[in-house]
Amino acid sequence: MSEATTEPAMGRFLANLREIPKTFRESFVRGGAPTTDRTRSSFVFGNVFLHLHAVRTHRWSLRWSTTAGLGIVSVAAFLITLITGVLLMFYYKPYPDAAYVSIKDIHFVVPTGRFIRNIHRWAANVMVVAVLLHMARVFFTGAYRKPREFNWLVGMGLLVITLGLSFTGYLLPWDQLAYWAITIGANIAQSPQEVTDALKITQYFDPGGMQRLLLLGSSDVGEEALIRFFLLHVMILPLALVALLGVHMWRVRKDGGIARPDDADARLGPPPADTYPVFTEAPQKTYQIATIVKGRTPAVGKGPENTVPSMPHLFYAEMGVAMLTVLVCVALALVSDAPLKELANPNVPENPAKAPWYFLGLQELVAYSAFMGGIGIPSIVLIGLGLIPYLDREKEGTGLWFGGPGGVPLVILSTVYGFGTALALEAFAIRFGWIRQWWPDVPQLVITALNPGTVLTALYAGFSIWAVKKWGSTRAGALALFTCFLCGFILLTIVGEHFRGPNWVFYWSPSEWPGH
């Protein structure tokens, strides 16, 4: 002590030195350990990663049946691909032939390389599935409605980027599978020429050729294309995805959390004994700021706030789902190796050359018209999806599965109709062929306009209009249309995946393919 008085600065120094563990912890976590509601709240909003969440979460949102955790599955799968992808970049060389060999090295000699590549591949597939299911969940629970219209559009952007990430990753191994899938993909990008050629204006206006050139950087799939796809895969698309994902999650919070029905509190019943939800008394809410700030305060005026602290309730839920996702990806990675066929050979096409599974539905349509299957119908579908929240502005059924007019019976009917028409049309086209087989001289424009894809789209649209009239509700129309397209997508994907063999000929099973 005497030292401290004689040399106060030195004494402070020693005391500070002793207290480093404590002061470091305090500087790291603000507000102390999350043991009380107050410290938990500060733990959430004081943390750069956690503060995307609200401090408190409604009990409705935490029910497993509300979201099935699909959004978190998507994010978790993305994070897994991000981590494993960065690891793979230690060894991957984005140059033709060298790329293939480097993947072989990853497979055979890089420590844990094969496992990590398998996880990357499976997490990518899980992500595509999860994103699609997440969208279906949001649609069927009517969660796209006001005030969440814009977030629905952001989500569609995320879907497109997810598919783009998956597709660009497809080329990187530079094997036969990759090479020919990308060749087909690039030609789909070029397919507006089908229309411009038919109109004889390609030499003046050629958006298709421009798209293909932009994508490949050359007239063929070669080193330029590989570098571009690599850049898209590891830089542009992930950055875009992270940015949009931030917006998406932020909007979830700003739009009032997960959509729930107005009578959610009544449906939830009394809280379990071990939770202590807060019942905010409505008059205690201050209105002054809310009236000044333009916008919505969704909690206001809705009676008791049936919420629990996000930390730890939401935290356990999210971490649990994330770890479950990891578990699934790791298990799949252990069971099945990511494919790697022969080195890309520009002279010998794969037969059949199949796109990644989620594009096989489109490839099935492309077999009739490249433009309609590859660009026309996907554009129609995307535009249609984007318009749904702006066309369906009803309130009934928000937050409930298959909620709204029509409900479950309409969804069942739409499922039957969606599968039935697609199956009938496919069976007809496979059995009897299509226009070109009957009248070989028919102009291409006729086939572009009239092919199984467009016919199916028209049939679905007609059914949807019928549903609007029958139930007198735009929600019914949306339910019918979305369900039909989902069924059509699933059916065409199955046909493309399992029933198409060499030369895109119909086979009952891949074991019947000739020469193999």
Least CB distance from residue 304 to another protein, whole Å? 13
Give the one residue of 28, 204, 276, 508 binding another protein; rule: CB under 8 A.
276
85 contacts 234 by C-beta, under 8 angstroms: yes
Residue 57: its H or E element = strand 56-58
Among 5, 499, 57, 447, CA closest to 277: 57
Q: Any idea what DSSP says for residue 218?
A: S
SS3 295: coil
Give the one residue of 317, 366, 425, 467 binding another protein; rule: CB under 8 A.
317
Q: Which amino acid is at 363?
A: Q
Site for another protein contains 441 (CB under 8 A): no
Instruction: Find the binding residues for another protein in span 278-307 (CB under 8 A).
Output: 278
How many chain residues are in contact with another protein, going by CB under 8 A? 52
Only one of the segments 7-15, 208-216, 339-347, 399-407 lies at the binding site for another protein (rule: CB under 8 A); that segment is: 339-347
Total Cβ atoms within 10 A of residue 472: 9
Site for another protein contains 313 (CB under 8 A): yes
Nearer to another protein, 338 or 495 (CB): 338
Q: What would the x/- binding string for another protein be over residues 88 to 117, using CB under 8 A? A: --x----------x--xx--xxxxxx-xx-
Longest dimension (CA), the chain: 108
Site for another protein contains 274 (CB under 8 A): yes
Instruction: Find the binding residues for another protein in span 460-489 (CB under 8 A).
Output: none
Least CB distance from residue 337 to another protein, whole Å? 11
Total Cβ atoms within 10 A of residue 379: 11
Residues 136 and 485: their CA atoms lie apart, in Å, by 11
Site for another protein contains 240 (CB under 8 A): no
Nearer to another protein, 258 or 425 (CB): 258
Site for another protein contains 15 (CB under 8 A): no
Least CB distance from residue 405 to another protein, whole Å? 33
User: In the Cβ-directed half-sphere of 211, how many Cα atoms lie within 13 Å?
Assistant: 16
Among 458, 499, 495, 468, CA closest to 361: 495
Instruction: Find the binding residues for another protein in span 388-417 (CB under 8 A).
Output: none
Give the one residue of 31, 37, 164, 435 binding another protein; rule: CB under 8 A.
37
Site for another protein contains 321 (CB under 8 A): yes
- Return the bridge partners of 175, or none: 343
Among 402, 418, 425, 396, CA closest to 464: 418
Total Cβ atoms within 10 A of residue 79: 15
Give the one residue of 275, 286, 336, 379 binding another protein; rule: CB under 8 A.
275
Site for another protein contains 21 (CB under 8 A): no
Residues 342 and 94: their CA atoms lie apart, in Å, by 17
Q: Measured between alpha carbons, how far is residue 317 from residues 61, 322, 449 in Å?
A: 10, 9, 49
Q: Which amino acid is at 257?
A: G
Least CB distance from residue 126 to another protein, whole Å? 14
Nearer to another protein, 340 or 422 (CB): 340
Nearer to another protein, 241 or 321 (CB): 321
Nearer to another protein, 106 or 422 (CB): 106
Task: Identify the residue whose tokens are 């959390």.
Answer: 257
42 contacts 36 by C-beta, under 8 angstroms: no
Least CB distance from residue 499 to another protein, whole Å? 21
Nearer to another protein, 164 or 502 (CB): 502
Give the one residue of 129, 136, 198, 324 binding another protein; rule: CB under 8 A.
324
Residues 89 and 252: their CA atoms lie apart, in Å, by 33
The torsion angles phi and psi of 307, rounded to 5 degrees, stand at -115, 160
Nearer to another protein, 315 or 460 (CB): 315
Nearer to another protein, 274 or 441 (CB): 274
Residues 431 and 439: their CA atoms lie apart, in Å, by 16
In the complex, which residues of this chain contact another protein (CB under 8 A)?
A: 34-38, 62, 64, 83, 87, 90, 101, 104-105, 108-113, 115-116, 175, 274-276, 278, 308-309, 312-313, 316-317, 319-321, 323-324, 326-327, 330-331, 333-334, 340-343, 345, 348, 514-516
